[in-house]
């Protein structure tokens, strides 16, 4: 069965690359008309285009600092945000109860510090830990991924690849990976690459599988946030957090779940015993 699925998030905008010979401007600095790409002048390694030879001659009379300022303004004007990791489709909150730096339980050192790093929410025991995490993000995220995979694996609803629909061990092994703090499983690295290219529909279908697998055994008949009946506000609203189903009375309760998902998990797990 081929399965088709909100990591996150202020990002640094990187300017669009301008290739050699490509003008930095698309309108003439004198007339405002469209430029003729064959009528140009060089400012260092950058090309400026004009609508006619007369404007080109006028530009040549500018001093170097004025020319450089114009080029810089045009580059800034045409800068476009680059695709960044903060555009993750999945934005699951941090679901571990320990600080990734000290290993201490969150909340034992005072107020929890929450940061978004490379599109992923990470929670720390104190303000001194985030800089240490950022010094070696690759190693730190690898450590978190191992813990998150182990935490979420028992709740994963299907034994087939979310991309190809084949059995997860079809190629002799399973590729488990964390995307946006959430576990996904595929049969091979090619399927992982396909997932990362366009995960939206795949995640939607996985969410549907989770609802089907966990709805019948959901132990609560009331909302863990509103405390009223699940159908009291038109619900239940099905929220997926780290491959776990949380039933709520309405979507308005979701922000409070995101703030403290572990409290909701604890209440649900207690009701199952």
Q: What's the pLDDT band for 15 if we cut at 50, 70, 90?
A: very low
Predicted local confidence at residue 21, as pLDDT? 67
For 192-212, write each residue's pLDDT tens digit.
999 999 999 999 999 999 999
Q: By 3-state DSSP, what share of the chain in percent is helix, strand and coil, each rounded to 5?
A: 35, 20, 45
Whether 10 shows a pLDDT value over 80: the answer reads: no
pLDDT at residue 120 tops 80: yes
For the chain, give the mean pLDDT: 87
Reported confidence tier of residue 69, pLDDT bands at 50, 70, 90 = confident
Is the pLDDT at 2 greater than 50? The verdict is no
Integer Cα distance of 269 and 102 in angstroms: 27
pLDDT band, very low/low/confident/very high, at 153 (cuts 50, 70, 90): very high
- pLDDT at site 87: 59
Q: Given this model, what pLDDT does residue 31 score?
A: 76
176 in Cβ contact with 153 (< 8 Å) = yes
Q: Could you count the other beta carbons within 10 Å of the beta carbon of residue 63?
A: 8
pLDDT tens-digit profile of 96-112? 999 999 999 999 999 99
CA distances from 127 to 99, 107, 111, 131 (A): 11, 12, 9, 8
Task: Sketch the domain layout of the chain as residue ranges.
Answer: 1-12+83-211, 17-78, 218-273
Hey, which bits of 180-218 come out as E strands? 182-186
Which residues make beta-bridge pairs with 122?
115
Tokens linked to 236: 């239940």
Question: Is the confidence at residue 57, as pLDDT, over 50?
Answer: yes
* Cα distances (angstroms) measured from residue 42 to each of 5, 19, 90, 92: 48, 13, 45, 49
- Whether the ω angle into residue 69 lies within 30 degrees of 0, i.e. cis, is no
The confidence band for 29, taking pLDDT boundaries of 50, 70 and 90, is confident
CA distance 42 to 49: 9
> Integer distance in angstroms from the first to the last C-alpha of the chain?
34
CB-based burial, 220-248: b 16+ in 10 Å, e otherwise: bebbbbbeeebeebebbbbbbbbbbbbbb
The residue-averaged pLDDT of 154-167 equals 96
What's the pLDDT band for 216 if we cut at 50, 70, 90?
Answer: very high
Cα distance between residue 272 and residue 267, in whole Å: 9
């Amino acid at each position: 069965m081929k399965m088709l699925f909100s990591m996150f998030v202020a990002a640094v905008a990187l300017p669009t690359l301008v290739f050699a010979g490509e003008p930095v401007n698309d309108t003439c600095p004198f007339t405002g008309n469209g430029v003729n790409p064959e009528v140009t002048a060089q400012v260092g390694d950058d090309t400026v285009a004009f609508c006619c030879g007369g404007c080109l001659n006028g530009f040549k009379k500018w001093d170097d600092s004025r020319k450089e300022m114009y080029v810089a303004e045009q580059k800034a004007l045409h800068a476009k945000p680059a695709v960044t990791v903060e555009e993750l489709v999945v934005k699951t909150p941090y679901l571990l109860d320990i600080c990734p730096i000290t290993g201490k339980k969150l909340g034992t050192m005072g107020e929890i510090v929450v940061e978004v790093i490379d599109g992923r929410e990470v929670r720390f025991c104190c303000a001194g830990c985030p800089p240490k995490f950022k010094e070696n993000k690759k190693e730190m995220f690898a450590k978190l991924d191992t813990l998150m995979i182990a935490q979420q694996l028992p709740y994963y609803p299907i034994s087939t690849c979310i991309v190809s629909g084949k059995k997860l061990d079809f190629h002799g092994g399973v590729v488990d990976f964390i995307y946006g703090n959430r576990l996904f499983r595929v049969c091979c690295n090619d399927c992982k690459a396909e997932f990362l290219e366009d995960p939206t529909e795949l995640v939607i279908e996985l969410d549907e599988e989770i609802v089907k697998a966990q709805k019948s055994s959901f132990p609560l008949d009331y909302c863990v946030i509103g405390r009223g009946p699940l159908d009291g506000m038109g619900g239940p609203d099905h929220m997926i957090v780290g491959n776990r189903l949380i039933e709520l009375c309405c979507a308005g309760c979701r922000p409070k779940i995101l703030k403290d998902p572990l409290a909701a998990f604890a209440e649900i797990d207690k009701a199952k015993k």
